[in-house]
Amino acid sequence: MAAFTQVQRRLVGAYFLNEYSFEASALFNPSIVAHPDQSETPAGSLRFILSLRAVGEGHVSSLTFRSGLIAADGTVTIDPTARLASSPDIVRLTSGAGGDDIDVSFAAGEDISERVIFPVTEAQSNGIEDARFVRFQRRREDLLRDLHAYSGRAIRSEMIETSDFVSFRLSTLQGSAARNKGMALFPRKSMAICDDRAPGTTKTSI
pTM for this one?
A: 0.79
* Three-class DSSP category at 70: strand
Q: What is the pLDDT of residue 14?
A: 81
Picking from 200, 199, 195, 142, the residue whose alpha carbon sits closest to that of residue 173 is 195
Query: Mean pLDDT across the chain, nearest whole number?
Result: 83
Q: What is the pLDDT of residue 187?
A: 64
